[in-house]
Amino acid sequence: MENRKVSLETLMVMESKEQRTIDPHVLPIYATSGFSFQNIEEGIDAFLNPSEKHLYSRFANPTIDTVATKLARLESYDADGDYFCLLTNTGMSAITTALVSVLEKGDIVLTQPNIYGGSTELMQRILSKFGVTIETIDLSDMDLLSQKLTQKEVKLVYFETPANPTLSCLPIEKLAALAKEHNAISIMDNTFATPALQRPLSMGVDIVIHSTTKYLNGHGNGMGGAIIAANNWYGKIWGHYKLLGTNPSPFEAWLLHNGMKTLSLRMEKHSYNAQRMADFLSEHPSVDRVNYPGLTTHPDHEIAASQMAKFGGMMSFELKGGFESGKRMMNEVDICQLVPTLGNVDTLILHPASMSHLHVAPEIRRQAGISDGLIRMSVGIENIDDLIADLDKALAIS
C-alpha cells in the first residue's frame, strides 16, 4: 500500500505486519482463518496446489502442519517410506475421517468387540446407515479372520491393541499381513501405547489413528485426533478431511505440541506406576482379576512384550463384589479422579458399563469381557506409594 494517510477507522481495521525477521524458539500459534496473497497469480497457484500452499486454515495452517509433521515422524520412526499426518479436532473425528475416506457402500468392516465404545457405536449406528456392514469377530483367531477375509466385500480390518478397556492385545504384524494378503486395509488405533511404546506402521499397518486428547497431549487441557499413513493415502484422505471440516484449531495443535515434548518421560513413569499398581491389585483380596499386559498372568502378555517397548499406563480390574463394590470404591478414592477420559498426568478411573460403553449393546459388552463390575484405570505419574495407599483405603471400604 502506498504511504498515503488513511482514516483512523481504516487504520484500526488494517492488519499489522511483522516488522522484522524473527526465529521464535517456541512454535507460534498462527491464529488466522485465511492467508493473503500478494497477487492473483499467487492465489490461483495456491488453489491449484492446496497441499503445498497455505490459503485457508481448514485446509492447512502452519502451526497445525508443523505439529502434524512431528507426529508423522514419531509414528513412522522405524518404518520404510514417507508418511504424513492429518490432525483432527477429536479422536472420534480422526476415526470418522479415516473410515469415510476408505469405505464405500457395500463394504464390510471386520472389527473386534472390545474396542472403545464410541468406535463401536459409530460403526454400528452411523456407517451402517450408508450401506457399510460391520462384522464383530474375535480378531485373535487368525483362522476365523482368514476365513472372513475371503469375502470379496471385506474392505477393512479395524482394531485396537491394547484394547479399551480390557487391555487385550493382538499380534499386529500377523494381522496386518493377513489383511494385506487378502487386499484389505488395516486401520489401528494406537492411542493407548503411543509411538513411544509401539509403532504399528513399521509392522505393516496401513493407517494409524490416535485420540491425541489422551497420552500425546497428556495434560487434559486439549482435544484432538490424528491420522497417520503412507503418502500414497494422502490425496484420498485429505480430500475427505477438507470437506468434512475435521481440522483442529491452531491452539489445540499447539497444546499437543507442548505435550509431546515430555511424551517419552511420561510414558516411562506411567508404565512403571501401572506395573506396580497391577502387582498390588493382583494380590488384593477384594479384586477378582486384573487386566494389564505387563502381568505374566495376562493371556496376551507375550504378544504385548513382543511389540511394545513397555506396557503403558492403562489397566482394568474386576472387584469381587461386582457393580455395587465398584461404585463404593470409586466414591472413596481421594487422589484418583472419576473422569471419563484417560492418558492424563493424574490418575483417572472410570466405570465402562455406565460410562464409555453405556450405548454398546450388553451382549457385545459381555462378549468383549466388559462386565458390569469392571473398572478402568488410567494410572498417572504421581508417587506410586500415594496411589496404592489411596486404592487400598477405598478397597477396604468397598
What are the cell numbers at 287?
479384586
Does residue 266 have an active-site annotation? no
Does residue 116 have an active-site annotation? yes
Report the alpha-carbon distance of residue 241 to residue 134 in Å, rounded.
23
Given 148, 155, 214, 376, which residue is catalytic? 214
Does residue 125 have an active-site annotation? no
Cell 506396557, residue located: 311
Does residue 77 have an active-site annotation? no
Given 65, 107, 189, 300, which residue is catalytic? 189
Alpha helices in the chain (DSSP H): 8-13, 40-48, 62-75, 91-102, 117-121, 142-149, 172-181, 194-197, 234-244, 250-260, 263-282, 301-307, 322-332, 362-367, 384-397
Closest Cα to residue 268, out of 300, 309, 304?
309
What are the cell numbers at 98?
479415516
- Phi and psi of 108, rounded to 5°? -115, 135
What are the cell numbers at 216?
500425546
Length of the chain (residues): 398
Cell 482435544, residue located: 223
Cell 499467487, residue located: 42
Given 58, 180, 328, 393, which residue is catalytic? 58
Given 116, 215, 241, 292, which residue is catalytic? 116
Report the alpha-carbon distance of residue 179 to residue 204 in Å, rounded.
10
Across the beta sheet with 225-230, what order do the strands follow?
83-88, 225-230, 207-211, 185-189, 154-160, 108-111, 133-136
- For the chain, what is the radius of gyration of the CA atoms? 23
Catalytic residues, by residue number, are 58, 116, 189, 214
